[in-house]
Amino acid sequence: MASTLITVAPTGAEADKAAVPALPVTLDELVGTAKECEAAGAAVIHVHIRDEAARPTLDRGRLTATVAALREGTDLIVQLSTGGAVTDSFANRLAVLDAAPDACSLTCGTVNFGADVFSNPWGFIKELYQLTQERQVVPEFELFDLGQVATLHRLLGEFGPPAGGHVHCDLVMGVPGGMPGDVPTLAAAVAALPDGATWSATGIGRTTLPVLFTALAAGGHLRVGMEDTLSFARGRPVARNAELVERAAELARLAQRPPMRPAEARAFLGIPGRPA
């Protein structure tokens, strides 16, 4: 039976800990969340970290310690964000790979991001991609808009396949400024992906559930977490990341595509197993 890859994105760079106390921002909170989410059915964790004041940071020492702690405490595939916050420099975003994660995000173009701009010019994309190939870090191609799918084709055409040899994408839908989180847009994006690529989808904010149901129906995989939504239901804030994973896992089981476990996910994504 086919299974469903569930990624949890527990923190993000945007939500404010003071306003959202359930957001995991310390290393202990992150590892605790990761354990609960693994038990609930996640196989990948998409990681943004915070500093001692709960502000987003790309501090190399903290990133390295985070990768080590997540590996120690879980079997999850550790995917570091190279998107960071909209204020992060390209140099710091490239340096994320120094923390030697299993995987990283790689966004395929610039997008309006609410009142901000999430900047990913071609020069940065190709430098980051070549670095992932050199370091053998498996990229997940984050696609916020249909034009970014064209850039993904260009990237693969010019620089060849990614580390691990398999192309896996994440459709990030419903960002104010990116593609909407609806059925026709998801269908169009999936139809435009490179042959052989697999994909997950996540819907930001109120597009979370429509995108989740559409992705399952279309044979895709799922990303959920407090990076993408802070509401479990209308008027009911998310209490724990794990409840979003539990809901995704339950729906995946109902669709007869149960959650993929981390070892299976490693084989699926082309990520080597951990040394014993």
What is the closest distance, in whole angstroms, from the C-beta atom of residue 130 to ligand KMH in the complex?
17
What is the closest distance, in whole angstroms, from the C-beta atom of residue 222 to ligand KMH in the complex?
16
Q: Supply φ then ψ for residue 52, to 5 degrees.
A: -65, -20
**228 interacts with, out of Zn ion, ligand KMH, none, CB within 5 to 8 A per kind:** none
Strand runs labelled E in 91-167 = 103-107, 111-113, 116-118, 138-143
Nearest Cα to 140, choosing from 100, 176, 172, 167?
A: 167
The residue of the chain with the least Cβ separation from ligand KMH equals: 83
Q: CB-side exposure of 225: number of CA atoms within 13 Å?
A: 32
- Quote the CA–CA distance of 128 and 108 in Å, as a whole number: 10
86 binds ligand KMH (CB under 6 A): yes
Sole binder of Zn ion in the list 11, 57, 81, 107 (CB under 5 A): 81
Sole binder of ligand KMH in the list 118, 124, 199, 268 (CB under 6 A): 118
85 binds ligand KMH (CB under 6 A): yes
- Going from the C-alpha of 3 to that of each of 184, 193, 251, the distances in angstroms are 24, 20, 12
What is the closest distance, in whole angstroms, from the C-beta atom of residue 253 to Zn ion in the complex?
26
What is the closest distance, in whole angstroms, from the C-beta atom of residue 74 to Zn ion in the complex?
18
Sole binder of ligand KMH in the list 8, 13, 201, 215 (CB under 6 A): 13
Find out whether 147 and 185 touch, Cβ atoms under 8 Å.
no
- Quote the CA–CA distance of 115 and 78 in Å, as a whole number: 30
Sole binder of ligand KMH in the list 29, 90, 113, 232 (CB under 6 A): 113
| Near ligand KMH in 213-252, by CB under 6 A | none
**CA-based torsion, 24, 208, 76, 243: positive or negative:** positive
What is the closest distance, in whole angstroms, from the C-beta atom of residue 275 to ligand KMH in the complex?
27
| Near ligand KMH in 177-206, by CB under 6 A | none
How far does Cα 120 stand from its chain's mean position?
16
Nearest Cα to 7, choosing from 35, 44, 57?
A: 44
81 binds ligand KMH (CB under 6 A): yes
Looking at the Cβ atoms of 3 and 13, the one nearer to Zn ion is 13
What is the closest distance, in whole angstroms, from the C-beta atom of residue 159 to ligand KMH in the complex?
19
Find out whether 57 and 87 touch, Cβ atoms under 8 Å.
no
66 binds Zn ion (CB under 5 A): no
141 binds ligand KMH (CB under 6 A): no
Question: Given the rule CB under 5 A, which residues bind Zn ion?
Answer: 81
Question: Given the rule CB under 6 A, which residues bind ligand KMH?
Answer: 12-13, 81-83, 85-86, 105, 107, 113, 118, 142
